[in-house]
Structure 1
């Protein structure tokens, strides 16, 4: 049976309810040709406030493997997963299929449910009707490491 609403199935690596909110002083950085007239912001921002809609339902999990590289998710990236969001067709989700966790793009059609890999070297998972599928949460952001892990 399919369960497309979030259900408890596992624990997360890090709970967002920590009192240590990450605060940074942002600087505008041009990705193209830099402009000396570009605005500069000297205040502080709270990334938790910017990225987390529901603190109690948002978790960080670490991606393992390379089945989602075309979606911009690499091995070792941290994913912000919101369990309060109702999964929709096309969302990247953390799913539990017959007790196994996976991150895939959700495809829902009259023909059934497919957990789509975003890498041609990995097969899509067509979910058999009698399988136990639970969508644990919807991936809202990916923290991609550019310098490797420390």
Structure 2
């Protein structure tokens, strides 16, 4: 089922607590191979600091968000609440981010995050290289639009 009254808008401070919770819940479900014992909702704050945050909302419920380091056209985070995955929320957030890019956009996707990788490949992102991070091997991906 698709979301029909979906609104993509800029983050406001009123969103913070809900997005902190969403961020933690999605990380826990998407990255089960990582040690999550030190993760906390407030990690959202440091992860998105100094980034443009776009929020997906429907009928007052926050369904997901994307955060972008604007200066580098770098999509740092795209998270959708588990119960809303597969309902075009992620795609609408991705479209908004891509529309805001001023040049070719990039992102890093953990190799083990197969669902996210398939999502980006399906939407015209290409693997450019690989790298290693504290969370494991990742693909550097590029969207030329």
TM-score, scaled to structure 2: 0.27
Bigger proportion of residues as helix:
2
Higher gyration radius (CA)? 1
TM-score, scaled to structure 1: 0.26
